[in-house]
Structure 1
Amino acid sequence: MIVYGTRIKSDIDFPLDLSHETTSRYEVELSSRVPDKFKTFIICGFPAYWAHGRNVYFYSDREFERNEARQPFCYEVADVVRFYWLGGERTIYYELDKEGDSNLLSFWFIHLMLPLYLTLEEQYDFLHAGAVEVEGKPILFIAPSMGGKSTMTDYFIKQGHTLVSDDKVPTFIKDGKFMAVGSFPYHRPYRKAEDLGYHVDNFITDFKPIHVFYVLEGVDESNEVSFEEIRGFEKFDNLLANNIYLFSFLKPKRLKHLSQMLNTIKVFRVQIPWDMERLSEVHDSICQHSKGLS
């Protein structure tokens, strides 16, 4: 299977439809054969966050000042699973806990752990955005929590647009262009804990240059749909807030990546009337606006 442009070889069958033939640029093995050395190496860690009703922890054998070759890491989802790997190596090991099963392993590995690994391995810079294609060009929706990003992505999918990413968009530079990578063919329009949502048949199969960013802003239902180009520091500020896994030792490189991206890709604020009955109008307005950009 291929997710985030990464071919996964695994000793477990994922209970998901990940059969799409998509382009890959990286390869990882997922194995249950955890070497004993990891449990003696891992001595330093902290609670990372609370997500989907679970405590998540991140461990290593040293403080997180850099990602060094063969540095051991452990990503633990309390009571479900622990993932282990060495920096610079392409095998990730997993160990199920008392509540773990193949469904939960699939969710945590694909949705949260693998993006973290790919960030630390400096394969991608991830943006927190929904993304679809309009006439073959990826457009990205950015919004705060409960700001309409998932609803907009869902509506575009149901109008026949190709899904690029539900929530986390991997990006990298190729020939001076900032490429969007497909995540996986599932979408979560309504948040349910430890669930990837519904399967999407129309899913991107190749890496494509990002066309435009749309920052969604909900307004009164009586307002018109309007667009305003965001410039200067505000443009940078909007995307920095949606840059995922901004570790301190990666920050200089990622800030440079983001600055270069915003020098070549336009960002627009789109005011969206807070009225589900007007989604068709919003959809048509965004499509027309996107097509009008060079």
Structure 2
Amino acid sequence: MEGRKVVVVGYHAAELLDIACVTSAFLAANVQTRRPYYDVSLATPGGRPITCGSGLALQGQQTLERLTGPLDTLIVSGGPGHEDAAANTVIVGHVRRLARESRRVASVCTGASILAATGLLDGRRATTHWRFASELAARHPAITVDPDPIFIRDGGVSTAAGVTSALDLTLALVEEDHGPTLARDIARYLVTYLQRPGNQAQMSMFTAPRPTSDGLVDRIVEHITTHLAGDLTAAVLAAAAGVSERHLTRLFLKHLGLPPGRYVRRVRTEAAAHLLVTTRLPVSSIATRCGFGTPETLRQAFTTRYGISPARYRQTQTRPLTTAL
């Protein structure tokens, strides 16, 4: 039995975790099944060792310039050296060539900038690490960059967000190849979440830094997050801020990129997601606490934001649940 050929592309100052999450998860499939499901290798320019962003060195197993297909899966890693790699015509040219000889192609983290340089992401929806999303969008307007999901699959091309999201994407690829049971076994073996859905947000209001340095906007944002069940209409928020609704909308668009109403809906939805995975509260109670009023209103907002229902979202999470006070 010949394993599916998986090649990870590395380069100087690539992120070690971007590479290891992919290779370890694919090779764990071989360990769990005792079958050579995947033939995994690291391709580097000239086949030379690379020094990762962490300072550790990795030996290339394949010479990028000499590697030929057909390949099953080609994955481009990200890392601090992604800008130099994306500007390197040799690396970009061979990634473009190998992509044509691969069944599916993916990038991890800022590896999306290298795929973008090949033109492969033009006309597609893609993601990257949230910190670099706006930069990718500005440099490549033909790409629809969505900074929220942990990974996006658009046809035969996938892009994963920051670092460990490579593990989530790889588990999804294994599930595609061999079914959910093996993907779950690998997750258990690696002692990680069974599987986060790809459209789970990279960042949320509970982990993100303060969204703006504007004092008035910060004050209103704090009011929103601490009064989710209250009246958070634009009129009420504007009155609390002491400005007109029009001016409040201008401030929100400038500093948060969303008008007040959409921002409130997003925060409420993220708060509901947090409660779904950290409590045993029924969906009706979560809807009330987060200001949605009814479970149906919550379901509609949740499906729009995450692409799945609240119940399905809860099922895919594996954190220990506790009853909220």
TM-score w.r.t. structure 2 length? 0.28
Whose strand fraction is larger, Structure 1's or Structure 2's? Answer: 1
Name which structure has the greater RCO, CA cutoff 8 Å, separation 6+: 1
TM-score w.r.t. structure 1 length? 0.30
Determine which structure has more spread, i.e. the larger CA radius of gyration: 2
